[in-house]
Structure 1
C-alpha cells in the first residue's frame, strides 16, 4: 500500500522562506529512517505557488484554462510531499506521526492519503498490463 503525506503550505513557505538548518537536519534524519526501513518511495519540497500555474477545465470537453500563481488560500496549497510504501494504514499513520513539524513553528499540517493502485481503478486486463509496462519503464529509467 502506498500513502502520500501531503505537507500543507504555510505563510512562510508561500513567501519563499527556506527551512532552518535545524529543520533540514530533522527532515534528513527522518528521511534516512524511512530509507533504512525500506518504505520511502519519494520525498520532495515544492516551490511557492508564485512559481506555479493552475490548470482548470471549466467546461466539459472544452479548452483548459491556465491561471498563474500565486494562489490565495494557503490551506489549499501543497508545500511538499512524501510517498511511502507500507503494509497498512496504521503503519502509514505511525510514520506520519514521526515526521517533524514540516514548517518548524507549530504551523505544520500533514494530510495522509492512500494512493490508488491500478486494480482498484479497473479490472481490464489490457489496462492493467499497460500500467505494469509503464511502471517497468520507469524502473528501468531510474536504474540508468
Structure 2
C-alpha cells in the first residue's frame, strides 16, 4: 500500500524558519531508518507558500493566484511517499517520527488510489495510456 504523509505547515514553517541542526540530524536518522526498512520511496520539504502559486480552474479559464495562502493549518510543509503493509503500519512509522517542527505540529497520512480502484471506468485503451506513462517515468527514474 502506498501512502503520502504530509507534514502540515505551521506559523514557523510559513515564516521560513529553518530547522535546527538537531532537528535536521534527527530527521535524517529517521529518513535513513525508513529507507533501510524499504518504506520510504521519496520525500522533501517545501518552501513557504509565499513562494508558491495556485492555478484556479473554471471551465476553460485559468487564473494564477500568488502566495502566501491563508489557513496555515491547511498547508503542507513537506511530504514522504511510503510503501507500507497497511494503514496501521503507516501509523506506527509516523509515531516514530521526530516532531518535524519546533512547536506543535501534525502529520497527515493519505492512501494513494491504485488502478484497481478505477475498475468501473477503466477500459483497455485507458489502461494502456496510464501504463505507458508509468513505464516512461520508470525509465526516466
Q: Does 1:126 align with 2:128?
A: no
How large is the RMSD of aligned CA atoms in angstroms?
1.3
Deviation at 1:48, TM superposition (A): 0.4
> Secondary structure in 2 aligned to 1:18?
coil
Picking from 107, 111, 122, the partner of 1:114 is: 111
Structure 2 CA distance, aligned partners of 1:80 and 1:52?
A: 13
Matches of 2:131 and 2:96 in 1, distance apart? 32
Q: How do 1:79-98 residues align onto structure 2 when only pairs under 5 Å count?
A: 79-98=77-96
**Which runs of structure 2 are paired with 1:7-46 in the superposition (5 Å)?**
7-46=7-46
Structure 2 CA distance, aligned partners of 1:128 and 1:101?
A: 40
| Secondary structure of 1:56's aligned partner | strand
**What's the CA shift for 1:76?**
1.3
- Measured after TM superposition, the shift of residue 64 of structure 1 is 1.6
User: How far 1:100 sits from its partner (Å)?
Assistant: 1.2
5+ unaligned residues in a row in structure 2: which ranges? none
Is there any run of 5+ residues in structure 1 with no aligned partner, and where?
A: none
Segment drifting more, 123-132 vs 82-91: 123-132
1:104 CA drift (Å): 3.0
CA offsets 1:55-107 (integer angstroms, 9 cap, x no match): 112x3x230211100112101111000110112111111111111111032x2
Give SS of 2:138's match.
helix
